[in-house]
Chain A
Amino acid sequence: MSDYTEKFDATGLNCPLPILRSKKVLTTMNSGDVLYVIATDSGSVKDFDAFCKQTGNELLESSEAEGKYHYYIKKA
């Protein structure tokens, strides 16, 4: 997946910062926009899954490649 509106690189950040900073970026975006997050914290996989379930944002993709986690979140 390559289409996104905003990108946030959370490489090297640990919980709770990837979620907090993603939340902040999402507040500046419009409904339907896609946020692409890159993270290295292994706990972020479950964190972003729970975050999207609770906030109503759609987790379009959650994948791992080259030692990094990639999330595409569509703002509700």
Chain B
Amino acid sequence: MQLDLYSQSLLWAFGLSVIFGATANKANFCTMGAVSDWINIGDHNRMRSWLLAIATAIIGVGILEYTSSVDLSLTTSNETSNPPYRSANFIWLRHLVGGLMFGVGMTLASGCGNKTLVRLGEGNMKSLVVLAVMGIAAWWMLFSNFGYRVFLQWMLPLSIDFSNQGIPSQDITTVAFGLAGHEWGVLEGFVVALLVAIPLLIWIFRAQDFRANLELVSAGLIIGLLIIIGWYVTAGPSGLELMEELEFMDDRPFFTGAQSLTFIGPTGHVAQYVKEGFSAVFLTFGVATVLGVVVGSFLYTLLFRKIRIEWFVSWNDFGMHLLGAMLMGVGGVLAMGCTIGQGITGVSTLALGSILTIVAIIAGSAATMKYQYYLMMREDD
């Protein structure tokens, strides 16, 4: 049986995400946990693992672009990518505000979008509620004009549109060379990717206890590699062929184009897929990734751990998770991605917005943890 290209891309998304879910479950890979370990404990190992995934993805994408194996110029347009990480219009406020909201949200909801899916696969029913609320909030941002009216309406006039200066993309190579008035090409892009990734790798592997932690080292490498494969599937030769085919389809699926793994927008896709009675046009790459992570985490738990059914311990616990889920759904779509979608997939394109988003997410999460601890210390006063 020969599968059509679209079905193949969905299978790739599902397969990559199954591996992602199992890997994150096994290694306790968690971006909010990485911030927590750093802020609350002073331990950097999970942060190094996250950064290793980022550095791996940056180098991999750099190689793919240098060898012309992918066309990431597609990520400058909403029509050819999902989301357009490298859009020439740098709406910096969406990344700053969305990232901060997401950082606060993931701390209140016990983990980012991906961790929510991993926990759901372990049997945590709190995560089912978080997923539902996050999905509805993301749906609201994606499929109504709420996001425009509340946020983008006032953020757009303050954006920096590089195309006014003849700069076609917001990736740091294009912006730096464009502003300096120099010519640039794939070689310059690859050199800049190495200049970013190599110092990261030096810092990551400088710690002996991290080097000895094979579980976190391999998790970082595997997750970085999965992101690279995702890009190759959607922006490589078969992805380009698929985009040509889609032009002629009567029922063209939504949210197609160049993309790799991301988890907040896709929870909104899941909400739309359910709302539309499981219509095939809403069975997106993102829906496949959401399902894949839950299945991967569930399979790992089934084989190597015990399913633990968990529920909220108090109304306060319920309220905090609900608020966190809403902030993640709204903030994640506003920022055009989560700790994985912007934090690894987006940063691998070296887009300014992705870099700003990840900094804002970490700042929002760290500030929330500091505030939570401050409140705890005052509880008995």
Contact = CB atoms under 8 A, between A and B. Distances in A.
Interface in B110-136: 110-111, 119, 122, 124, 126
A12 B311 contact: yes
B373 A23 contact: yes
Interface in B223-243: none
A67 to B, nearest CB: 7
Contacts of B373: 20, 23-24
B314 to A, nearest CB: 8
A50 B313 contact: no
Contacts of A19: 36, 40-41
B40 A16 contact: yes
B28 A12 contact: no
B30 A15 contact: yes
Q: Which of B43, B45, B308, B372 has the most CB of A within 10 A?
A: B43
Given A23-B373, A40-B310, A55-B41, A46 B28 contact: yes
Contacts of A23: 40, 373
B369 interface: yes
Contact of B369 (A20, A42, A50, A51): A20
A46 B182 CA distance: 49
A67 B308 contact: yes
Contacts of A20: 40, 369, 372-373, 376
Contacts of A46: 28
Contacts of A17: 110, 372
A54 B45 CA distance: 11
A18 to B, nearest CB: 10
A43 B311 CA distance: 16
B107 interface: yes
Interface string A10-46: 0111111101110110010000000000001011001
Given A24-B377, A43-B33, A54-B43, A13 B313 contact: yes
Interface residues of A, number: 24
Contacts of A58: none
A20 B119 CA distance: 20
B311 A47 contact: no
A16 B40 CA distance: 8
B43 A50 contact: yes
Interface on chain A toward B: helix, strand, loop, or mixed SS?
A: helix
A23 to B, nearest CB: 7
Contact of A50 (B30, B45, B308, B377): B45
Nearest to A11: B313
A53 interface: yes
Given A46-B28, A54-B42, A12 B37 contact: no
A43 B310 CA distance: 14
A75 B372 CA distance: 22
B206 interface: no
Q: Which of A19, A40, A46, A53 has the most CB of B within 10 A?
A: A46
A51 B122 contact: no
Given A46-B28, A67-B306, A67-B308, A16 B36 contact: yes
A14 B126 contact: yes
A19 B42 CA distance: 12
Contact of A12 (B30, B33, B40, B310): B310
B41 A54 contact: yes
29 contacts: A12-B311, A13-B317, A14-B110, A14-B111, A14-B124, A15-B32, A15-B33, A15-B111, A17-B110, A17-B372, A19-B41, A23-B40, A23-B373, A24-B373, A24-B376, A24-B377, A42-B305, A43-B30, A43-B33, A46-B28, A47-B36, A50-B37, A50-B45, A51-B41, A51-B43, A53-B43, A54-B43, A55-B42, A67-B308
Q: Which 6 A-B pairs have the closest CB atoms?
A: A12-B313, A14-B110, A16-B36, A50-B43, A54-B42, A54-B41
Given A12-B313, A16-B107, A54-B42, 13 more contacts: A14-B310, A15-B32, A15-B33, A17-B372, A19-B36, A24-B373, A40-B308, A42-B308, A43-B28, A43-B33, A47-B33, A47-B36, A67-B306
